Amino acid sequence: MMVKDLLLPNRSEWDTKKIKFHLLQYVSTIQKLTLSTNNLKDERIWLLEKSDEYSTKTGYALAKLNSGNIHDSFNWKQCIWNVKCSPNGQSVGSSPSILRPVEKLMSFDGGFAQGVYQNVFLGSRHGAKGYKECKGGAISYSKAEKPTASPKDSIRPTIPDSISPTNHSRTTVTASHLFSDAAWNSSSCAGGLGWVIKSSSGNILLHGSSAKRYVASALAAEALALKEGLSKAILAGLKDIVCSSDSRCLIQLLTGNKSVTAIKGILHDICVLSRSLNSISYHFMPRSCNVQADELAKNSLFLLSCSSDNSVV
């Protein structure tokens, strides 16, 4: 069975009946997972690290925890841990002799590749020494290539669009203003979403609210509220939008280069929606200035808590 088997046909929503039938003990846990509606590519993550990246420290700890009484015939201490080698701090960049094995694995054609290698491995101390000795290997750049970035810039990390939704930062004077907010019950995990769209002159153009029976966290609820309001604004034909929320954490995620695994799908959807706009920006505002959206969200959550209608999800 695959995840797609637990979804409603042609929709990015959980099929509650199927989940209850196959995985009854995990119903609430699965329903808290918010799926992307814009085909976010699946990726592997390491749950034991906040960064989602694998580390030898947590990997070793997990291996020890699950080792049990298994006896390994391989002598790790003699063959691995006690092997005489250079200190970790001298493995790269400390001496030309240590770098020779690395150089033999690479092939360089052109100054750009040589510049990258110089910045990463050799640094200014070793200069371009040894480039001509590199033959046949893992990395090769053609002389015909004309990269737009400098060698130094090419080694800086980049952030994919899927975790950086702020494709536009400029907004016009006549931009519409979207105010969003959410109310979340930590006991039931139910969430109420509210949003208000105003013109540049302050007149209310649209407003709305909805409720979800299962939302993983308050942050996820805030992100869903903004996504829902943004979607309605785009459907109304608005092209320049200023988004305001009283969730400082959400705004920092939208304006920075960070992401949270739990709401990565929602952030991706916001990113996709923003691509259809001429301009968009995100701003934090105090809750006292977001009263209308806050009331809509709270009323929506209250009505859900008073209702026994299981059709609200």
Spans of all domains in the chain: 3-55, 92-155, 176-306
Topology (CATH level 3) of domain 176-306: Nucleotidyltransferase; domain 5 (3.30.420)
pLDDT of residue 51: 72
| Closest among 212, 295, 215 to 263, alpha carbons compared | 215
Per the model's pLDDT, the better-predicted residue between 63 and 180 turns out to be: 180
Q: Give percent of the chain above pLDDT 70.
A: 66
Residues 6+ apart with CB under 8 A from 283: 242, 243, 244, 245, 251
Burial grade of 255 (CB within 10 A; 0-12, 13-18, 19 or more)? middle
DSSP 181: E
Residue 32 above 70 pLDDT? yes
Rounded distance between C-alpha atoms, residue 77 and residue 71, angstroms: 14
pLDDT of residue 135: 39
Determine the 3-state secondary structure of 203 from DSSP. Answer: coil
Highest mean pLDDT among 129-138, 167-176, 283-292: 283-292
Burial grade of 60 (CB within 10 A; 0-12, 13-18, 19 or more)? exposed
Please say whether the beta carbons of 280 and 180 come within 8 A. no
Residue 145 above 80 pLDDT? no
Work out the pLDDT band at 28, boundaries 50, 70, 90. confident
Rounded distance between C-alpha atoms, residue 6 and residue 254, angstroms: 30
| Amino acid sitting at position 237 | G
Work out the pLDDT band at 116, boundaries 50, 70, 90. low
Per the model's pLDDT, the better-predicted residue between 79 and 240 turns out to be: 240
pLDDT of residue 133: 39
Residue 101 above 50 pLDDT? no
| Closest among 264, 231, 79 to 164, alpha carbons compared | 264
Average pLDDT over every residue of 86-110: 45
Rounded distance between C-alpha atoms, residue 135 and residue 109, angstroms: 10
pLDDT of residue 161: 39
pLDDT of residue 273: 95
Q: Where are the alpha helices (DSSP H) in the chain?
A: 16-22, 27-31, 56-65, 76, 96-103, 111-117, 123-126, 218-235, 248-255, 264-274, 291-306
Work out the pLDDT band at 127, boundaries 50, 70, 90. very low
Rounded distance between C-alpha atoms, residue 227 and residue 232, angstroms: 9
Across the chain, mean pLDDT equals: 75
Beta strands 204-212 and 176-184 are unpaired
Strand partners, 206: 197
Per the model's pLDDT, the better-predicted residue between 311 and 277 turns out to be: 277
| Closest among 175, 188, 174 to 221, alpha carbons compared | 188
Please say whether the beta carbons of 155 and 244 come within 8 A. no
pLDDT of residue 47: 73
Strand partners, 213: none
How many Å is the Cα radius of gyration of the chain? Answer: 26
Residue 111 above 50 pLDDT? yes
